[in-house]
Amino acid sequence: MQIEVLKSKLHRATVTNANLNYEGSISIDTELIKLAGMHNYEKVDIYNINNGARFSTYIIPGNKGEFCLNGAAARMAQPGDKIIIVTFTWIDDKEADSWVPQVVLLDDQNKPKEAGKHEMKSGTLVNV
């Protein structure tokens, strides 16, 4: 049987811009896309830490440090908001107990503080 699991995560990205008059997507720094194991045009779910909004869109390549919400997604966050960007994949359930996602923890300037396979545990606190 196949199950859907977290594949990768960009954690606590700071929204740099919101462009309502553009095709829907999120522009992400190309180096961070690669570091997180994500891909251009891949579907992502986005969770806005500031207002609780949750929505889906897709990735397009962006400039250094950029997290710009485009089109309808621009209504879901504003510059300065903290967001979490995640992708999922399907794996065989026999692999589930040993699966570990790729996680990039970001600082306030959208620079990686930590990156790699990252086990998450209950009660883990994030230094803000």
Residue 120 has pLDDT above 50, yes or no: yes
Q: Which two tokens mark 74? A: 């621009």
Domain ranges for the chain: 2-93+101-117
At 128 the pLDDT is 46
Could you give the percent of the chain with pLDDT greater than 70?
Answer: 91
Kindly list the catalytic residues.
25, 58
Residue 124 has pLDDT above 70, yes or no: no
Query: pTM for this one?
Result: 0.90
Task: Give the model confidence (pLDDT) of 48-105 as tens digits.
Answer: 999 999 999 999 999 999 999 999 999 999 999 999 999 999 999 999 999 999 999 9
Give the separation between CA 42 and CA 39, rounded to whole angstroms.
5
More confidently predicted of 34 and 123: 34
* Residue 115: pLDDT band with limits 50, 70, 90: confident
Topology of the domain comprising 2-93+101-117:
Barwin-like endoglucanases (2.40.40)
Mean pLDDT, rounded, of the chain = 92
Mean pLDDT of all residues in 42-51: 98
Show the CA angle centred on residue 74, arms to residues 69 and 77, nearest 5°. Answer: 90
